[in-house]
Amino acid sequence: MGIKKVGLNRNIKPQSLAEKVFFLDFMKGLKTTIKHLFRKVITVDFPYEVVEPAPRFRGVHGLRNVDGTEKNDFNAWVKKLKIKPPEKGETRCIACKFCQAACPVPEIFVIKAEKLDVPKDHPHHGLKVLTQFDMDLGKCMFCGLCTLACPTICIIHTDIYDISTYTRRGWILNKEQLSQIADDFIARRGKEKYDEKSEWPDYQKIWNDADTARAKAWDNNPPQFGPNYADQN
Amino acid sequence: MPWISEEKLNRLQEKFSFIKILDNPQAPVIEVPKENLIDFLKFLKEDPDYQFKMFIDWTVIDHGKKADPRFQGVLILMSPKSWERVIIKVWATDERLPSLITLWKGAKWAEREAWDMFGIKFDGHDNLVRMFLWETYPYHPLRKDFPVRGYEEVELPSLNETERFDQLEGTMNYSRKHTALPTLEDLEITQKARMPNKKSQMVLNWGPLHPGTHGTIWFLFDMEGEYIKDCDIIIGQLHRGVEKLAENLNVQQIIPYTDRMDYIAAINENHSVCIAAEKLLGIHEKIPEKAKYIRTMMAELSRINSHLLWLGTYALDLGALTMFLYTFREREKLMDIFEGITGARFTINYFRVGGVYADLPYGALDAIEHFIKDLPQRINEYETLLTRNRIWLKRNVDVCIIPEKDVYQYGLTGAVARASGVPYDLRKIDKYDAYGEVEFDIPVGEKGDSYDRYLVRMEEMRQSIRIVEQCIAKLRKFSKNDPFFYEPEDRRMKITIDGRGTKLKKGEVYAGADNPRGELGVYIYMPKDGIKPYRFRLRSGAFYNLQVFTKAIIGRPLADAITLLSTIDPVVGETDR
Ligand code: SF4
Ligand code: SF4
């Protein structure tokens, strides 16, 4: 077993007489702090300057709408759960409640789907639509299990972290609000996070390297990104 | 797996006819009758061949209302001679067990916790009061007949505050009732019960809300002038009942709850749960190599993160404000790395039973490399500021010495144990994940004073850098298509990334990881296959490490309390669970 012994007199020399008399320990310390005095500022001046969260950031949830980037098995799932095939711009949610099942706090969700009230000969007869999807984010711990469970990549995490409200009522988001949040997010940063089949691509970056605020926090010397693995490009 | 060997077990069986060796595939379990427990343990502790003298954990299982006897004590011991563990079980007839405080002083808090949570009485305990809850609380919440939501009996209408008559009608409404809350009288009774024989006129209260206590710890000091004569600690202000919650969740859902325990090193807490569940399922060796290296690397980065926070706040408490600013600058970069890879800066939930939930994003290894390249020089800077500074030496050298025997007596783990000269490190003993394949040294102190604890943690950061470098070099060689999550070959086994349907196996296991704050051990007991763990015990390193505070502070001036607390470095989320 590799053991390294540490201790005063073991790997640390005690103070010598010269150090004691001439306050050399303080001098050395001051030299370090004075060096730092001349370095560039690294403080990000929030809220005038904001660091953009990473693509994977787990913020407020959103419900994605159909926009042509669904997974290949999307239609199969729609059929299986007897949901009215959604048009472009309608929600991807098929009311399978997988998200609720995966969630450690299932009472966050209220999900309801109702049968369409159409005559028998209508092609949508007997099919359902999502009528209610409420989330109480006050109970959520942003663990991300719901987004991993969703078969249609409908429920997603966005990069919004500011959810303060005056009452608990403000944390309850309904279907429309959630869809709006997702739409905004996809328009803003969808390309960074998802590929054309809504999966996480391997070019998804650890964070946006064009972000100047983050570069500042990295001593104005941010890392240059390259591939992780030998066969990645 | 370092468990007691077959041969030693057989010899025990020959010598003591009353013991029963249970058939459990994951770990050897010995069942001992209650009457013979103390004698048997004395032998185990003192016999030169066995020397199971290190206390690890002492807890209780509730087998349900119908079982008779209903409760069972579980003791886990470690032998520092051969680094082997053993599990000992004993039935608690009449809801009573013999107290072990004559053998291990660390059993004191463990027994108080068992009394608090299960209502088991310990014969021979010197002051059996509650551990987390207040003295007048009427229930024992970890009993199986106590509901998860508790008994909602106090009215708290503020929960439903509304704005402009906006009524919270319908399903998302909060109940107006809340579970019991302590009143001021309750707290006074609690405080008196914790220190029944105080000597001085006045007991000095430090905390529960004091910046120096790093959380909500409430210290009681019985003083004689400047010097502390007696001390007790009231914790539990952050008690959320993670063990109770865990009994109603599947194992992947428990992981986000452990983020909220040691919130400074959330990755390491996740790690413990993953290792324990994987060992119970018997799949720990089969986890994909890539996942193993990613986990090892992340766990070490988390250790650096945690130690940086420790160093900053420790120096801040002793009056060096600059240090705090410097370490938080480095920590910020680490948080960025975590955010990019896992999706969260603090409550990370990245590890899964079976691997990790996603592969590394583009540029992750470069960012880590960039950070790691810079760090050794920064640590040297910190050391120039502190290590040989005369004030630092005066405040730390020979302050609050924890001798080696206290490590065994109190079950101390992590840097506190290593500073006292015990090279106890699960990374070397258990070799979980990729720790068997990377090279690193265990820093070991000599005296066990605060200065040694400081040096050990500083050296640990350097060793962590070494490990991370090796992990990066190894990870570079993998292909982007290599799996990062275990797919079971066995069709009956089901493990999913999102947790739905993940099943645990029958059996019992104790496993853990060496976390920055000591060993977080997880003991899972499953009487049959199932989704929810029947008993999910979290053996908190910070909890047992904090216990030694009450001893090491005796006879020291009050100012040393800050030094000692900072060098023990507990985090309240983990001590209280
Ligand atoms: S993030 Fe976690 S807690 Fe929040 S809704 Fe999703 S699964 Fe539930
Ligand atoms: S898992 Fe996805 S599709 Fe299913 S109910 Fe939840 S959001 Fe809708």
Conformation bin of residue B497: beta by default, left when phi > 0, alpha when psi is -120 to 50: alpha
Q: Residue B507: beta bridge partners?
A: B526
CA B515, CA B273: separation in Å to the nearest integer?
A: 12
Q: What's the CATH code, domain B242-576?
A: 1.10.645.10
Q: Tell me the residue ranges of DSSP E strands in chain A.
A: 3-5, 61-63, 109-115, 128-136, 155-157, 172-173
A78-99 average pLDDT score: 85
Q: Determine the residue of chain B that is closest to A135 in CA distance.
A: B172
Q: Give the CA radius of gyration of chain A.
A: 27
CA A5, CA A19: separation in Å to the nearest integer?
A: 25
- The pTM assigned to this predicted structure is 0.89
Nearest CA to ligand 2 atom 7: A155
Are B568 and B562 a contacting pair, CB within 8 Å? no
Q: Look at A190-194, B159-163, B261-265 and tell me which has the smallest mean pLDDT.
A: B159-163
| pLDDT above 70: residue B163 | no
Q: What is the pLDDT of residue B499?
A: 79
Q: Do B256 and A141 touch (CB under 8 A)?
A: yes
Mean model confidence pLDDT for chain A:
85
A201-228 average pLDDT score: 86
Please report, for chain A, the start and end positions of each structural domain, with discontinuous segments joined by +: 61-193
DSSP string for residues in A16-66: PHHHHHHTHHHHHHHHHHHHHHTSPP----TTTS-PPPPTT---SEEEPBP
CB of A99 within 6 A of ligand 2: the answer is yes
Q: Which atom of ligand 1 is nearest to the CA of A145?
A: 7
State how far residue B127 is from chain A, nearest Cα, in angstroms: 38
CATH class belonging to A61-193 = alpha beta
Mean model confidence pLDDT for chain B:
86
B123-131 average pLDDT score: 86
Q: What is the pLDDT of residue B158?
A: 63
pLDDT tens-digit series, residues B55-81:
889 999 988 888 888 888 999 988 888
pLDDT tens-digit series, residues A89-107:
888 888 888 899 889 988 8
CB of A94 within 6 A of ligand 1: the answer is no
| pLDDT above 80: residue B553 | yes
Please report, for chain B, the start and end positions of each structural domain, with discontinuous segments joined by +: 6-123, 242-576
Confidence of residue B496 (pLDDT cuts 50, 70, 90): confident
Q: Look at A143-157, B168-182, B423-437 and tell me which has the smallest mean pLDDT.
A: B168-182
Are A161 and A185 a contacting pair, CB within 8 Å? no
B211-218 average pLDDT score: 82
**Which residues from B are below 8 Å from A20, CB to CB?**
390
A229 touches chain B (CB under 8 A): yes
CA B308, CA B412: separation in Å to the nearest integer?
A: 21
| pLDDT above 70: residue B394 | yes
A106 touches chain B (CB under 8 A): no
CA B30, CA B20: separation in Å to the nearest integer?
A: 6
CB of A150 within 6 A of ligand 1: the answer is no
Of B349, B365, B480, the CB nearest to A143: B349
pLDDT tens-digit series, residues A58-76:
999 999 988 888 888 888 8
Q: What is the pLDDT of residue B299?
A: 92
Specify the CATH number for B6-123; select among 3.30.460.80, 3.40.30.10, 3.40.50.720, 3.30.70.20.
Answer: 3.30.460.80
Confidence of residue B531 (pLDDT cuts 50, 70, 90): confident
CB of A137 within 6 A of ligand 1: the answer is no
- Per DSSP, A137 falls in state G
CB of A149 within 6 A of ligand 2: the answer is yes
State how far residue B116 is from chain A, nearest Cα, in angstroms: 26
pLDDT tens-digit series, residues B11-44:
888 888 888 888 787 888 888 888 888 888 888 8
Q: What is the pLDDT of residue A1?
A: 61
| pLDDT above 70: residue B212 | yes
Q: Which residue has the higher pLDDT, A121 or B175?
A: A121
Q: Which atom of ligand 2 is nearest to the CA of A149?
A: 1
